[in-house]
Structure formats: C-alpha cells, structure tokens
Chains A and B, each alone.
Chain A
Amino acid sequence: MSGHSEGLLPPGFEDLLEFVPHWVGSTAQERWDIRARSSMDDIRRFYTVMLARSEAILAHVGQFPLDALPEPVLRLFRLQLALAQAAMAVELHRQPRAINSPFPHSVRIVRTAEPTA
C-alpha cells in the first residue's frame, strides 16, 4: 500500500486497505448499489476476507460509541456492513444480483435506523 492510504483504517486492519476504494458506502442504499455493480469474483474475495475478520472488526468498533466513531473506525465499520450485501450475492443468489431482477431499477432504500448513516 502506498503512503497516502495510511491512516484510512485503524492500526491492525491494514490487510483490508485494498477494499476501501470500492467497498465503503455511507448508506445501505450505497452499499446495495456497490454490490449490485460488482463482479462475482470481487464479491467472493471481499466476502471471504471480511468474514474471517468480522469478529475482530466488531470487537474493535465496539470500543467506541456508535454515534461518534473516529473516521478510520467508521470506514472499517462500513466495510463490515458491506459484508451483509456481499452475503446476499454469495449465500442467496450465487450471482451479484437477484435472479430476474432488472438493473438499474427505481427501488430505493430511502432511510434506515443505522446510527452511523
């Protein structure tokens, strides 16, 4: 990783830096859209790596109040939340998007109860 990516994620999570440019979305709608536009190979690689790191991520994020996550922790948390989207492709559809569903489409996740959104 080049120098400018230092500090993007908390120390100890440098192995996930490669996912930051593509997989960090600030809302559920953005994360849904990112996954829908990703290739199955990218989704699978992200899923596999993130699944193995989830326990450590949740433990790390859990040290901070959710409504005041420092920027690198928030970024890490958003990577973690993107795993839920990757799981739809890997565990349910076995392809990036729902079978027989058009893309793009007009369905929007307008609002969630996510405190960091």
Chain B
Amino acid sequence: MNEMTELAGICTSDLTRSAGLGTGPVSCEPYRSPEYFEREREQLFKRAWLTVGRIEQVPEKGSFFTKTIEIWNTPIVVVRTSDDKVQAFYNVCPHRGNQVVLEERGRASRFMCNYHNWVFRNDGRLFGIPDEANFFDVDKKACGLRPIATEVWEGWIFINHQAVPEVGLTEFLGEFGRRFSGISWENTETSLYFEAHLDANWKVLADAFSETYHIPSIHPATIGKTFASQVNPHSRPLDALFWGPHRQFSTFGNPEYAPPEDAMVEKMAYANRDTGNVLGAADTAGMSRYLDHPAINPKQSRYWALDIAVAFPTLHINLSPGGFWSHRFWPISVNRTRWEAEFHVPRPTTAHECLQQELYVARIAEILLEDVTNTERTQRGIEARAFDTMQLQDGEVQIRHNLHHVDRWVNAASVSEALNG
C-alpha cells in the first residue's frame, strides 16, 4: 500500500465540503476591522454563553472568585451561595458603583464594599446600609448585587450577558452538549494555569489551537515528531465533526514516537511512565473511565492523539490520553486578547513525580510560547493589508467553521436565527 492510500485510510478527507462550508479564500476583515469587532461584542459576546471557569473553583458554600470580562467591560464575582447555587454577579456596588469584592478568590458568607461598608449576603441580597436613616427611601430589594445569567454544564460555569438569555445553555450547546456529557473528568481539583496578553485578534489565538498543519513547522523540537510521521508528514487530522457552531476535531498522533536517544532527563523522568504519551504527566490507571467515553477518540483510531472539543465561541476543551485541558480566549480589542490555558493534572506526591510534572510544565510552556507568540506576527501581517484574504486547506476546516458561525452571529437578528440559520 503506498503512503497516500494508507493516509486515506487513517484520515477522513473532504472535511470542509462535508461540513457544507465553502472552499474559497476567506476574508481578513473579521481579524482587523474595528467595526467588525464591535459587532462581535454586541451580537456574539453579549448574546452567547461564555465559559468563566469550573465549579471546582468554588468548592464550598461561600467560595468565590473574581474576574474581569473585558469584552463586557465588566468586573464579575462568581459565588457558590449559602444555598449551594453557583451564581455570577456584577461585582459592582449599587450605592455608587465601586467594586465590592477585591480579592481574587476566597470564601465568605457576606461581602462588604470597602467604600461605605454596604454589606451583601453571598446570594447577592443587600444585608445592611450604614446610616440607612440618612438615605431617602432606598428600595433595599432593588439594591442587591445584580445577578448575571449563570448555568453549569459538565462542571463548566457559563455566563450570559443578556438579563434573560434568549436561549438557555442546554439549547445553546445542543447536540455537542449531549455528546460530551457524562465524561469522567479527571484531576479537576488541580491544574497548571498559563496566561498571556497578546497583540492579536481573539480568532488568531483560537486559530492557533485549531489545526495541526502548523505542528511540524512551528514545533520542530517540542512536539513535531509526536503529531506527524512518515505516513502523515503534514499532520492531517483524523476527523472533524460539527454541531451548529460547536465542533470536535480529532488529531493524529505518531504511535511510534519515542524520546530521542540523547534526551536523558526526559528518559529519567519517565523511566516508570505508563502513559505511553509524552504530553501526559498523569498515569493511565485512573484514566480508563474517562477514555472509555464514546465521544473521545470517536473513530477508535490507533493514531489518535487528542480531541479538541470546541464550545463556540471561546472554550476549547482538549481531551488527551493523559487528561484534559482547556484554552479560553478573552477579546480585549480588535487586536488584543487575553488567553488562558488550564491543564488538569494530579498533585504530585513524591519528589520523582514533582520532577516529572516539572518537565511536563516546562515542555508545555515551550509549546504554548511557540504558539501564542506567533499570533502577534500573524496579526501584524494581517493588519499590513498585503492581502485581503487568507487561504485555508482542508485540515484548517475549524478556522473556516468558526469564521462562518461568527459571521452568522454578528448578522443574525436573534440568537435563535444565529443558531438555526
């Protein structure tokens, strides 16, 4: 069997046409137009459900964390209330607009604004106003913290800017949400957390984690050889599946990969490894329940490396044999983005495991650095206006799919129209 025929047996072809997408060049304007960005803000980011974290960040009643949602120009606080409900609020005091909760995270039954000591219960209700008698008939019921629509799916906390969302989270996620539910998420309690502020459009960031075509060239030393091989030298994907604006992308892994002979530290650290996966710091013993889920490696391919499950628009969940991680992209301006990556790992319990994980952290940091710093060069190139379009190949189908659905949202009169066309 020649190599092209063998490749055809491994990687599904014609992903773009099968998804009903066009095959022509795509416009650069959504990446560089301030007007388009403002439409994304109003039509997409203020109407779609956005992921702000996981429920493990609020493990107990009273646990909270704060965050700034740049695209809404809004500071928020996410709380597990005393009646055990996960709820986001505008982190804004109804008195004169000061931020109420200043800590990044913590646990509290009440929050006190430090400006004039107004106090709120952790379910948002106003508890007390100092010198209330000197106000003029304050409607205390209307002076609680203002809630933000909040729903949880599979441990992921989603928020929606619409006071009464046109579409609930279950309907928003649709078949994607059903398919990826019931996963035995591993190591949810502990994670490695990376962050960067990049001079690039949020879609340039998302695109960087949406195809594997770049891996042999951008990552020659770090992972080039784990995601490509002689039979698949350009790292074509195994498959791609689409449900409305959401999707799944299965990537190719080289089953023959072994650390190079002179990678002494890598060999020493992984001398007792049983993952068979150089990306994974975890061992596979606790992983089988998670990997047995039918949504993961749907083709049951021996060449499977990992799945990228995308909850449109900004949550990328990566499911690999070693566990899961996520990328979240937070637009700040047309060419500025805050990017977060969180890798869920077990807490190391021995010195040897610490070294293994340190090696894992060091390697991921190099890979992410290669990916995200490249986005600033891409953005500069797009803004140079040397070209009005970009060329996308079949393995870059996720980028085309994302652009298609972003465009639908920015043009749709309602969320229902955006989702159902």
Contacts and interface: CB of A to CB of B under 8 A. Distances in A.
A101 to B, nearest CB: 5
A99 B367 CA distance: 11
Nearest to B347: A113
A107 B196 contact: yes
Interface in B342-366: 345-352, 354-355, 357-359, 361-363, 365-366
A31 B358 CA distance: 10
Contacts of A83: 265, 355
Contacts of B285: none
Contacts of A91: 260, 262-266
B167 interface: no
B351 A58 contact: yes
A105 B264 contact: no
A110 B373 contact: no
A93 B354 contact: no
Interface string A53-71: 0100110011000100000
B303 to A, nearest CB: 23
B197 to A, nearest CB: 5
Contacts of B365: 28, 32, 107, 109
Interface in A49-102: 51, 54, 57-58, 61-62, 66, 77, 80-81, 83-88, 90-94, 98-102
Contacts of A100: 218, 370, 374
Interface residues of B, number: 46
Contact of A106 (B198, B357, B361): B198
A85 to B, nearest CB: 5
B191 interface: yes
A interface: dominant SS: helix
B369 A66 contact: no
Contacts of B26: none
A62 B352 contact: yes
Contacts of A112: 192-193, 357, 361
A116 interface: yes
A109 B370 contact: no
Nearest to B338: A106
Contacts of A80: 351, 355
A107 B90 CA distance: 28
B292 interface: no
Contact of A105 (B262, B354, B363, B373): B373
Question: Which residue of B193, B198, B262 has the most chain A CB atoms within 10 A of its CB atom?
Answer: B193
A98 B264 contact: no
Contact of B194 (A90, A102, A109): A109
Contacts of A41: none
A13 to B, nearest CB: 14
Interface string B183-201: 0000000111111111000
Nearest to A91: B263
B269 interface: yes
B192 A109 contact: yes
10 contacts: A62-B351, A66-B351, A87-B264, A87-B359, A91-B264, A92-B222, A108-B196, A113-B347, A114-B357, A115-B348
Given A81-B354, A91-B263, 14 more contacts: A28-B361, A32-B362, A54-B265, A62-B352, A66-B350, A87-B362, A88-B363, A93-B366, A94-B221, A105-B369, A105-B373, A107-B368, A112-B361, A113-B345
